[in-house]
Structure formats: C-alpha cells, structure tokens
Structure 1
Amino acid sequence: MNSNISIIGVPMDLGADRRGVDMGPSAIRYAGVVERLEKIGYTVHDEGDIVVRRPKQNTTAGTNLKYLDEIARVNRELCDAVSGEMKKGHFPLVIGGDHSIAIGTIAGVLQHRPKTGVIWYDAHGDMNTAETSPSGNIHGMSLAVSLGYGHESLTSIGGADANLDPEKTVLIGARALDPGEKEFIQKLGVKVFTMHEIDRMGMARVMEEALKIVTNGTDGVHLSLDLDGLDPHDCPGVGTPVIGGISYRESHLAMEILAEANVLTSAEFVEVNPILDQMNQTARVAVALMGSVFGEKLL
C-alpha cells in the first residue's frame, strides 16, 4: 500500500441536517489517527479541513434537496483536493463529516482511477434520489450520485462521465433500505450483503466474495465506511443508528482481509457524531479500524 497518506477533513453536517457530525474530523484526530498510522510506518500528511459554510436557508429553489448549493460547492472542492493528493502519489484518506462527502471523494478518485471498485460499508443504501428520498437529506443519496443518478449539480462533479460501475460496487451491512432504494438497487444490479448474509455466511466469506466483485477488471478499490454500519453498541456516536449491525470484531476482520488483499487505493470514514457519542468511543473505533485496514498487526 502507498506509504504516503494524505488526511483531508470535511466537517460537513448539511447532508445529514443534524448538528454534531461536523465535529467528526476533530474527534477522529483527537482519537489519534495521525499517531496510529505513523506508528505502523506511514508518512502522514494532514491537509487540514475543507471549509463548510452553513447557509441561512436549507432549501434551493426548484428542488427538495436540503443545502444543495453548499453541498455541491464543498464536494467540488473535495474532488479537487482528493485528485490533487493522488496526483502527488499519495493515498487520500477523507474523514467526515456526513456521508454526502463521498460524492466529492469518489469523483476525485475517478480522475485517476476511472475503473475504481467500491466497498460501501453501511447500514443504509444511500441510493435515494430527489424522487425517492423521504427526507431530502443528501447523505442518503451519495452512492446514487456516484453511480450517476441525481441532481445535475452533484452528478456533474468531476465530470459527467465520472461514475462508478454498479457491477463493481458492493454494499456491506445493509439493514435499513427505503422502498425506492430497494427497487433502484435491483434495477442497477448492485451487490448487497445484508446482515442476513453476514450472519449466515460469516464476514470472512462475505469479504472474499466482495473482493472478487470490486477487483474484477478494476484499477483500484475505494472503501467508504459509515460508522453506522457497526452496531450502535460499539458505535453509539452516529446520527442514524440501526440496531442489529456488524460487530466490532467482525469489522476488524473485514478491514484485515481488505489489508491482506493489498488493493485499497483510497478511503473515507464518515458519520462520527461526538455529540451523540460516549467518551469519543465511535471516533476511537474509527481509528482502530483504520489501523487494521492499513495493515496493523498484533504480532
């Protein structure tokens, strides 16, 4: 794996429309992400945070999407930042912030690796559009946008052709899907490993199957990890917790298998909300999982 890691913080809470997750990058840094990765042997470049402004109005004329203009602006800047770090030959590690920032991260990655496969580790599908979303919150639309579906101001980020291939995209940990998402997932053919498959197959087999999909004909793999993919017992500090999730140990195993495959070329960890957390537990879990996915060993 790349020995140079560039950390980019995005204190975004507009996509979730719930305060607190904007403090996620600070919480992750406080939990020792830089020190952890340096101890493993990486050279870490902390590029600071992208500035996020909070508009007075949460709506944009002609759409039900909340904070659309500012979310689009931030993701355009994030796309450029990620692309810039990859141009240097660095591994981009984006820390959030809500999951709407995946739009900019993935758009930036696709500038250099247009055939990227994606592991989307999440309780939710994030495949709503303006027509199917019950809330208008863009953090529930980010995967759909990255696949090329959604408002033009979002799908155009990085170029209209900078889209993921649904057949190279895998969702792991799903247990809360809206009706419109279910139809969309089936239509596009995105592979989903729900909690049923994880319970029945075991995480090792799930990851083996997922890796076959995301590495088949791709030029890299991106990990988009939402901390609400884990059970709220292990990660209480998230805005949309769903009980019955992936365990702490299962998640470490998933990250360890991903590290052993040596295919990861970019990553983001999102939805840490310190206001809802207990003693920064969720941020500490995020950093521990980063340790595993970057190759940390017990012995």
Structure 2
Amino acid sequence: MQNNMSIIGVPMDLGQNRRGVDMGPSAIRYAGVVERLENLAYHIADLGDVPVSRPDSKDNVQEGNLRNLKQVADSNQQLAKMVTQEIHKNRFPLVLGGDHSIAIGSMAGIAKHYDNPGVIWYDAHGDLNSGDTSPSGNIHGMPLAVSLGIGHEKLTNILDYTPKVKAENIVIIGARSLDPGEKELIREQGITVYSMHEIDRLGMSQVMAKAIDYLKQRTDGVHLSLDLDGLDPDEAPGVGTPVIGGLSYRESHLAMEMLSEADILTSAEFVEVNPILDDQNKTATLAVGLIGSLFGEKLK
C-alpha cells in the first residue's frame, strides 16, 4: 500500500431517506482517523468534502423510481474526478461517507486505472437493485448494480464508461438482507457471496482467505467498500438500515488485518455512519478502529 493517502469526505444523505448520514465524514474525522493514520506513518492529505447540492421542491422528482437522481449523479461525478486525480498522483484514495450511493463515484474513479478491478463489498446488503427492482427508490441500494452497468445511464455512465467492474471480480461479505431481484441477479451473474451463513459455518478467517485468494488470481487492483451496517447493530448502532445477526467487532478486525497482510487493496471507503442514530459516536470510533487495522495497526 502507498504511504501517501488522500481522504475525501462525501456528506451524502440523498441516496436514502433518513437524515444524518451526511454527518458521517465529520464524525469519522472527529473520532481521529487522520491522527490514527499519521501514527501509522501515512502521509495524509485531507481534501475536505465533495459538495452535495440540496434538491428544492421542483427538483425533487423521482425519475424512474430513483430518489434525488440528479443530485446523487452530480456529486458522484465530482467524487469520481477527485478519486481519479488522486490515483494519478499515486495516492491511495480513502473515501468517507455518507450513504452507500457514493460508491458509484468511488468505483467510477478507481476502475478507470485498472484493467481488471475487483471489489470486496462488506455489507449486510447486496446493493444490487435498480429502478426496476428497488422497493424504495433509494439509490444507496443500487451502487453495485450501477458499477456492473445496470441502472439509469446518469449513474452507469459516470466518467463516460460502463461497466466499472465485472461480476466475477466481486466478493460480497456479510450479506443477510437481499431483495428478490438481487438474489436473481446474483444467480444470473454468478457473483461470489459469503453470507452470514457461510461466515458462521466456515469462520471469518477461512472466508477472508478464500476471498483474498480468489481476487488475487483475477484482478490487478481491489477496492474495499465497507458499509458499517455489515456489523451487528449492537456493535455499530449508528447506521440507517441496521440488520440483526451481523458481523462482530472481532470478526471485522480480523478481516481488516488479513486484508492488510495480503496487501491487495488499492482503494477503500467506509460508509453509512449516521451520528444522529449513534450512541456517543460509537460507530464512527469503530470505523476508525477498523481503518487502523486495515492499514497495519497491530497489538504487537
């Protein structure tokens, strides 16, 4: 991993309908992410936040069952440009959300630089919906589908190319809440999924070893997209769409430590921290702890 890192915040809360997740980047910064990384000898450039415009009443029209499409697409376009600029400078992009719709821009900016990019989607959800399958119209449930080239062209064509990733280069870890359309897409596309069932049966160590080995063989760069709702709500209460029965604190630290040792990541993002729903910034503090493990923090 490069020692030069750029932090980009995206205070996005328009990909869903619960306010507060726009404060996620500030909460993670407040919990000490910059200091934690600097203590690990990373040279940090905090680039601040991508602007997110607010819809007014005449703009706020659901287009094709997509809530706040224009604003989400515009911010992701800006994020994609920032990410690609930082990669050009040979800097590791670390993106802080905001809701998970920001992964559309992260993936667009990152995938441009690799012939065969891969992604680890650490999440309770598949985020594989489109306007046709989404029960809610919330774009934060669509970014992985968008990255596959499925969805509205304002989202799939960010930076003027699509798709961003191949289905065979995706590994989903921690899934336990999938809509019927997402299950069908997973079957059709042959996407690798380690649900909580597999994690309970195999153990996190074996799941991560399999995921790392699988992506090492197929890809030339791996993006980690970590949604804090992948963890159990007892561990991470400050998320908008909690699902019981999730990953533990210990399992998640082990996963991050194994990714650090494997040295396959070329970018990462941590999303869906909502301080309004949190308990004394517990979830942001947890996110910073996971970031520490991901970037080489060890007990000894």
Task: Confirm or deny a common fold (TM above 0.5).
Answer: yes
Q: Which residue of 2 aligns with 1:151?
A: 152
Q: Which residue of 1 aligns with 2:197?
A: 196
Q: Whole-Å Cα distance in 2 between the matches of residues 70 and 229 of structure 1? A: 26
The change in CA–CA distance for 1:48 and 1:24 in structure 2 (over 3 A counts) is same
Q: Which residue of 2 aligns with 1:180?
A: 181
Q: Whole-Å Cα distance in 1 between the matches of residues 208 and 218 of structure 2? A: 17
The Cα of 1:161 is off from its aligned counterpart by 3.1
Corresponding residue SS for 1:216: helix
Q: Which residue of 1 aligns with 2:40?
A: 40
Q: What are the superposed Cα offsets for residues 115-141 of structure 1, whole Å, 9 maximum, x if unpaired?
A: 111000000000001110000000000
- Letter in structure 1 aligned against 2:168: E
Q: Which residue of 1 aligns with 2:49?
A: 49
Q: TM-score, normalised by structure 1?
A: 0.98
Q: Which residue of 2 aligns with 1:83?
A: 84
Task: Tell which deviates more after alignment, 205-214 or 229-238.
Answer: 205-214
Q: Which residue of 2 aligns with 1:119?
A: 120
Q: Whole-Å Cα distance in 2 between the matches of residues 232 and 161 of structure 1? A: 35
Corresponding residue SS for 2:120: strand
Equivalent residues of 1:169, 1:213 under 8 A apart: no
Q: What are the superposed Cα offsets for residues 182-214 of structure 1, whole Å, 9 maximum, x if unpaired?
A: 001111111000000000000000001111222
Corresponding residue SS for 2:217: coil
Q: Whole-Å Cα distance in 1 between the matches of residues 37 and 258 of structure 2? A: 18
Q: Whole-Å Cα distance in 1 between the matches of residues 263 and 62 of structure 2? A: 45
- Letter in structure 1 aligned against 2:12: M
Q: Which residue of 2 aligns with 1:102?
A: 103
Equivalent residues of 1:168, 1:215 under 8 A apart: no
Q: Whole-Å Cα distance in 2 between the matches of residues 3 and 162 of structure 1? A: 29
Q: Which residue of 2 aligns with 1:223?
A: 224
Q: Whole-Å Cα distance in 2 between the matches of residues 65 and 248 of structure 1? A: 34
The Cα of 1:112 is off from its aligned counterpart by 1.0
- Letter in structure 2 aligned against 1:185: I
Corresponding residue SS for 2:158: coil
Q: Which residue of 1 aligns with 2:292?
A: 291
Equivalent residues of 1:65, 1:136 under 8 A apart: yes
- Map 1:237-252 to 2 at 5 A: 237-252=238-253
- Letter in structure 1 aligned against 2:55: P
Task: Tell which deviates more after alignment, 150-159 or 22-31.
Answer: 150-159
Unaligned stretches of 5+ residues in structure 1: none
The change in CA–CA distance for 1:256 and 1:64 in structure 2 (over 3 A counts) is same
- Letter in structure 2 aligned against 1:105: S
Q: Whole-Å Cα distance in 2 between the matches of residues 158 and 117 of structure 1? A: 18
1:23 aligns with 2:23: yes
Q: Whole-Å Cα distance in 2 between the matches of residues 62 and 251 of structure 1? A: 37
Q: What are the superposed Cα offsets for residues 45-74 of structure 1, whole Å, 9 maximum, x if unpaired?
A: 100001111102474464110000010000
Q: What are the superposed Cα offsets for residues 256-282 of structure 1, whole Å, 9 maximum, x if unpaired?
A: 000000111000000000000000000
Q: Whole-Å Cα distance in 1 between the matches of residues 144 and 288 of structure 2? A: 23
Q: Whole-Å Cα distance in 2 between the matches of residues 247 and 294 of structure 1? A: 19
* Residues paired across the two proteins, number: 299
- Letter in structure 2 aligned against 1:160: Y
The Cα of 1:111 is off from its aligned counterpart by 1.4
Task: Tell which deviates more after alignment, 55-64 or 180-189.
Answer: 55-64
- Letter in structure 2 aligned against 1:253: L
Structure 1 runs (4+) deviating above 4 angstroms are: none
Q: Whole-Å Cα distance in 1 between the matches of residues 178 and 293 of structure 2? A: 28
- Letter in structure 1 aligned against 2:153: E
1:129 aligns with 2:130: yes
Q: Whole-Å Cα distance in 2 between the matches of residues 191 and 14 of structure 1? A: 29
- CA RMSD between the two structures: 1.0
Q: Which residue of 2 aligns with 1:70?
A: 71
Q: Whole-Å Cα distance in 2 between the matches of residues 74 and 172 of structure 1? A: 27
Corresponding residue SS for 1:93: strand
Task: Tell which deviates more after alignment, 159-168 or 147-156.
Answer: 159-168
- Letter in structure 2 aligned against 1:34: V
Q: Percent identity?
A: 64
Equivalent residues of 2:62, 2:68 under 8 A apart: no
Task: Tell which deviates more after alignment, 237-246 or 205-214.
Answer: 205-214
Q: Whole-Å Cα distance in 1 between the matches of residues 298 and 158 of structure 2? A: 38
- Letter in structure 2 aligned against 1:27: A
Equivalent residues of 1:10, 1:25 under 8 A apart: yes
- Letter in structure 1 aligned against 2:176: R
